């Protein structure tokens, strides 16, 4: 399972000690939406976008980069409209039955803050 997550703010990552004050400050000034992924069991930065629409596009393209998909999970932390929009776009390419939709747990939400949007894929890259 691979995932890509888009954050709406860096504030909660700063509060949890995941990033420094300077990074959070610069990110907020530049209005950066960071993306993270999991590679080899390690959480790593996967880029950044300058708008929520671009973040949604990156999440969609992440899923579309797979040649074979068994299941897709879309999770959110207090941004259900964005999550439903992503599910709607994915439903045009994949059967709705293979798309799992949920909200993140309170523990995850505490560390990420509101606005986290995550897509996870069980499948093979092409």
pLDDT digits (tens, 9 = 90+) for 4-37: 999 998 888 888 887 788 877 777 778 888 999 9
The whole-angstrom separation of Cα 62 and Cα 75 is 15
Query: Looking at residue 6, what is its pLDDT?
Result: 97
pLDDT at 67: 95
CA–CA gap between residue 88 and residue 18 (Å, rounded): 32
Strand segments, DSSP code E, in the chain are 2-6, 33-39, 42-49, 66-77, 99-103, 116-125
- pTM given for the model: 0.91
Contact predicate 5/116, CB 8 Å: yes
Q: Which tens digit of pLDDT belongs to each residue from 48-105?
A: 999 999 999 999 999 999 999 999 999 999 999 999 999 999 999 999 999 999 999 9
CA distance 75 to 86: 10
Mean pLDDT for 111-124 is 95
**pLDDT for residue 27:** 76
Inform me whether the pLDDT recorded for 44 exceeds 90. Answer: no
The full set of domains in the chain, from first to last, is 2-125 (3.30.1180.10)
Which structure tokens are listed for 100? 């799992």
Q: What is the pLDDT of residue 32?
A: 86
Q: Which residue has the higher pLDDT, 102 or 107?
A: 102
């Amino acid at each position: 399972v691979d995932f890509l997550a888009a954050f709406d703010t860096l504030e909660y990552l700063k509060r949890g000690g995941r990033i420094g004050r300077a990074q959070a400050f610069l990110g907020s000034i530049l209005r950066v939406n960071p993306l993270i992924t999991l590679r080899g069991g390690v959480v790593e930065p996967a880029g950044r976008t300058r708008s929520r629409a671009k973040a949604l596009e990156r999440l969609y393209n992440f899923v579309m980069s797979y040649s074979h998909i068994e299941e897709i999970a879309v999770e959110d932390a207090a941004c259900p409209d964005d999550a439903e929009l992503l599910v709607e776009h994915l439903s045009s390419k994949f059967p709705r039955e293979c798309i799992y939709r949920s909200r993140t747990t309170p523990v995850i939400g505490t560390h990420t803050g509101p606005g986290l949007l995550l897509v996870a894929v069980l499948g093979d890259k092409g």
